[in-house]
A and B are shown apart, each in its own frame.
Chain A
């Protein structure tokens, strides 16, 4: 992997100066590959923060074209690009911000045809999908290939984030062993809510990659943004979990 250039040292100077971080950890960010899917209300902000922080390689998966109703929260989409593929807008906005990182853009959501290949390429996956089917698929391959999965999710004014380390923490299937029957694709959301939990998820990814600080591995941060209440709870592995019970 290439060393940090003088430009990169200058570009990331203000975060390299964070006590205990330094250029060695910045190099780890440059060498890392992170998969973000989808790249909508949560994923747009995750991807933007990771690009800003200098994650060297981002894989971004999101299908479909931009609709007016995306624009209150999907911050990598623009008014001008309405009707065009979301992934083109995602790529352009991230390149405008940081042309020094590698982007691999996939014009599709996570599905059974692409999940394994995409997860395999990443060191860390940040799960920002609106459907449990997509989340459970990413979790399956995260466990299979021993990757790290940052789970960021929200609904209405509530949100949660945790970090899944296969064999050490519960996996997503431990928490949700079946597709929740009552979950609906459409839910109420302010962009500031999805964006806040996205920033927390991005920070988890940065910390996991750079071995910096304590993460939410084995803990679930519950956020109630309506009343600004935050609770950190311990979560348990399911000894019967068909996805992760065989690893320790």
Chain B
């Protein structure tokens, strides 16, 4: 299935693009998607997104469509879903 991704803030800086569409297994959940983009973009992104236990940091905001999603809920994804990842921002002065 296809997932439409939007990256914001420092995540976008590391990845270098703000949007992309990825292909993922039909049975994929949010965690599979995070693993996919970490594999695709490497250590700097993984360090920003995941903690030492390879869990999504709680400070990374994850939205499925217009709903916030907590990592622990690990919802199933659906074809053509819009997913947004945003790293925390505080600017500021």
Contact = CB atoms under 8 A, between A and B. Distances in A.
A101 B86 CA distance: 38
Given A178-B59, A233-B63, A236-B70, A41 B92 contact: yes
Contacts of A222: 8, 84, 86
A159 interface: yes
Contacts of B18: 224, 226-227
Nearest to A128: B92
B66 A158 contact: no
Contacts, number: 107
Contact of A158 (B8, B57, B63, B70): B8
A195 interface: no
Contact of B89 (A160, A233, A236): A160
B89 A155 contact: yes
Interface of B: 6, 8-10, 12-13, 18, 47-48, 57-59, 61, 63, 66-68, 70, 84, 86-93
Interface of A: 38, 40-43, 62, 70, 74, 128-132, 135, 153-156, 158-160, 175-178, 180-183, 187, 189, 194, 220, 222, 224, 226-227, 231-236, 238
A154 B66 contact: no
A227 B48 CA distance: 24
A130 B87 CA distance: 15
In the A-B complex, list the 5 residue pairs whose CB atoms are closest, starting with the nearest. Answer: A130-B92, A40-B93, A155-B89, A180-B88, A130-B93
Contacts of A62: 93
Contact of B91 (A70, A187, A227, A235): A187
A154 B59 contact: no
Contacts of B58: 176-178
Contacts of B48: 182
12 contacts: A62-B93, A130-B90, A153-B89, A154-B89, A154-B92, A156-B12, A187-B92, A220-B68, A224-B18, A226-B18, A231-B66, A236-B70
